[in-house]
Chain A
Amino acid sequence: DSGVTQTPKHLITATGQRVTLRCSPRSGDLSVYWYQQSLDQGLQFLIQYYNGEERAKGNILERFSAQQFPDLHSELNLSSLELGDSALYFCASSLGASSYEQYFGPGTRLTVT
């Protein structure tokens, strides 16, 4: 158990809908990262927050957004969902802003029908 928690574990929704994925980092970690894992694209970095502020941005679509709250939990919002958004979404956390060792949560499986 990495200490990172994610909810929900599974999510099934229809195209055009909006969902929110939630992540709680390990105790003491200030950075949260979001990754998307799909069969064709592999594991791709989406965005990083550090202590409430956006730190780095990767291949995140404009339909997606994230935030980190004062208690350090983070939410990833996915809107106008398309079939191609079906994937595993992982959250990871690390101690600092530039800490390489990231601990991953169990993931949320999103299925868009």
Chain B
Amino acid sequence: GESVGLHLPTLSVQEGDNSIINCAYSNSASDYFIWYKQESGKGPQFIIDIRSNMDKRQGQRVTVLLNKTVKHLSLQIAATQPGDSAVYFCAENMHSGYSTLTFGKGTMLLVSP
């Protein structure tokens, strides 16, 4: 597959562990945040989103936490599986009224069986 970055932060976990991926976002006025997963050779895939009026949102095996005080976003993946291995990007909407997204640099998650 194709690499999306040679110098990405990497998180290595064992299968079954919980994973936490962190992201510092740029704009305190951003009102919407998304986590995307990108597997090698594929386009980014939507995982979960959260609006700025929320602190936490849960999906299937994933939870996103938003701390607006320190402009921090995290993605928690429960019971991580080898299929979760990918690069994870956070994205923020910095321009209210527009749907354009600004992406972070990404974190590579490696899950060992």
Spell out A's residues near B (CB within 8 Å). 2, 4, 31, 33, 37, 39, 42-45, 48, 55-56, 58, 88, 90, 92, 94, 96-107, 109
Contacts and interface: CB of A to CB of B under 8 A. Distances in A.
A101 B4 CA distance: 21
In the complex, which of the residues B32, B101, B105 has the most CB atoms of chain A within 10 Å of its own CB atom?
A: B101
Contact of A109 (B2, B99, B102, B106): B2
B104 A98 contact: no
Interface string B27-62: 000001010100001111110010000000000000
Given A37-B4, A43-B89, A58 B100 contact: yes
Interface in B83-103: 89, 93, 95, 97-103
Contacts, number: 70
Contacts of A44: 103
A12 B11 CA distance: 33
Interface of B: 2-6, 32, 34, 36, 41-46, 49, 89, 93, 95, 97-106
Contact of B99 (A88, A97, A103): A97
A31 B41 CA distance: 24
Contacts of A106: 41-43
Given A39-B6, A88-B4, A102 B45 contact: no
A98 B31 CA distance: 13
21 contacts: A4-B43, A31-B99, A37-B4, A39-B3, A42-B5, A44-B103, A45-B100, A45-B102, A56-B98, A58-B100, A88-B4, A92-B43, A99-B99, A100-B93, A100-B99, A102-B46, A104-B43, A104-B45, A105-B43, A106-B42, A109-B2
